Amino acid sequence: CSWSDGQVTTPEGYKDAYQLFAEGGWSGLGGNPVYGGMGMPKVLAAQFDEMVCSASLAFTLYPSLGAGASLAIDAHASDELKEAYLPQMYSGEWAGTMCLTEPHAGTDLGIIRTKAEDNGDGSHAITGTKIFITGGEHDLTDNIIHLVLAKLPDAPAGPKGISLFLVPKFLVNEDGSLGESNTLACGSIEHKMGINASATCVMNFDGAKGYLVGEPNKGLNAMFTMMNYERLFVGIQGLGSSEMSYQNALEYAQDRIQGRSANGAVQKDKAADPLMVHGDIRRMLLNMKALNEGGRAFSTYVAKQLDIAKFSQDEHEKEKASALVALLTPVVKAFLTDAGLESCIAGQQVFGGHGFIREWGQEQLVRDVRITQIYEGTNGIQALDLLGRKIALSGGAYLETFLGEVRSSVNSEDEFAEELLTAVDKLEELTRQLLAQSQNDPNVINSACVDYLNAFAYVAYGWVWSLMSKTASKKLAESSEDQPWLEAKQITARYYFKRILPRFESSAAAALSGTDELFTLSPDQF
């Protein structure tokens, strides 16, 4: 993207691609049908999200921010605001943003300075600066609808004093037509490591007209309605990038000839054999395949829980699904993006020197996926949320719900029953020990949380791989259709349990190692 005098120009081809995307109705895939959305469940939208993220992560961010903003508007805004804004957002005519971060306030939103003053006509004047705003300004749509966190004059201090406002780039007339420009502007765009076709903007609001969404001082509650969806989506961004890396690396490993098989020449009529004959190449490819397919199954499970929590008529089901969403959202956001970087680097490694060269595309995947570990709450914050809030503050109740789900799905005749149940028991014991340690050492939670999240995720992936293997076995017994694909599932499941699940042990050992060395070293000794 390029910036000039407050205007952002997207790369050549983006406007045409976005128009095609919008004409297909994809902007409103999960939107409320009352206002023109398709009303599809998240479990389906998650598959679509992965596909478009694989195609172009930077492009996908433009419509996805509109979908996220629409979710918050639909859940919390007045009927008047919904009617005025949602149809055009679902159609893709208008885009959306989330304006949270300020120069001095990132993770700690309670100290934001953006203010909102009552205009006396049902609107508020919004003044302040927001940074790192994805899609804050661009040339793809006729209007951009900003959701802005700000504080009213009499708001209590801290996060309990934050309100949410809808602030359009262009004011909307009563007949739905666009009126004059609002008093807001893009001050600049960031020059970044990756996702360079996505405009990351500094947004200045100078008494801009905005409209309260939800109740005063309840802005974070409204924003967190979309946050679980957004964090799942960011996890899927990591997965989509990783899948593209895998597909590229697999094709390259099948075509590139280099060296001979340890068992003797495979292609005797050629000067060398394909890279696929080498064990280390297969190790990297199978790591990617196992993490990708495990991540796809796990994220689909979390998406299903979001759907149950939103649509189920059974209150017990809704409550259980909400607990699982709360517990698993930080895992899916953090682990899928960590695995995404791991697999993008592995794919680059398969390419050797060509992976370092821009024209092959692998280095861009590495640069682009890196942001997914940072935005929507850094992965360290996700880990702290998992262990410190979702597990410690619930007294382990959320974890008990999840582990109960896992245990109830295992039959003694399942191929991986023993390994999986042993891992589940170890995770439960790891949790108990960490919570006990934290009673005497307040630094334990923050110091162990990342290793704990990784340990948790390896067990969760083991569970979904066990389920996939069991389903593959059942289908193979019923029919020979798709036999190679189903057999590949079983083989990859075995690979996961033999080569990747053992990572649990090192993560658990690190988590339990205490905090002495971390906090004995003085700042000068660092």
Alpha-carbon span 408 to 467, nearest angstrom: 12
N-terminal to C-terminal alpha carbon distance within the chain: 39
Torsion angles phi and psi, residue 134, rounded to 5: -65, 125
Active site residues: 376
Q: Do the Cβ atoms of 436 and 457 come closer than 8 Å? A: no
* CA neighbor of 220 nearest in space, from 136, 156, 307, 170: 156
Spatial CB neighbours of 34, under 8 Å, sequence gap ≥ 6 = none
> Side chain identity at 372, as an amino acid letter?
T
DSSP state of 313: S
**Bridge partners of residue 3, in order along the sequence:** 8
The pairing of strands 143-150 and 94-99 is parallel
Angle between helices 362-369 and 315-350 (to 10 degrees): 140
Spatial CB neighbours of 60, under 8 Å, sequence gap ≥ 6 = 49, 52, 53, 237, 240
Torsion sign (Cα): 232, 235, 237, 239: negative
Alpha-carbon span 90 to 26, nearest angstrom: 8
* CA neighbor of 242 nearest in space, from 303, 326, 299: 299
Structure tokens at 268: 């005797």
Residue 106 burial by Cβ neighbours in a 10 Å radius (0-12, 13-18, 19+): middle
* CA neighbor of 241 nearest in space, from 376, 362, 340: 340
Residue 255 burial by Cβ neighbours in a 10 Å radius (0-12, 13-18, 19+): exposed
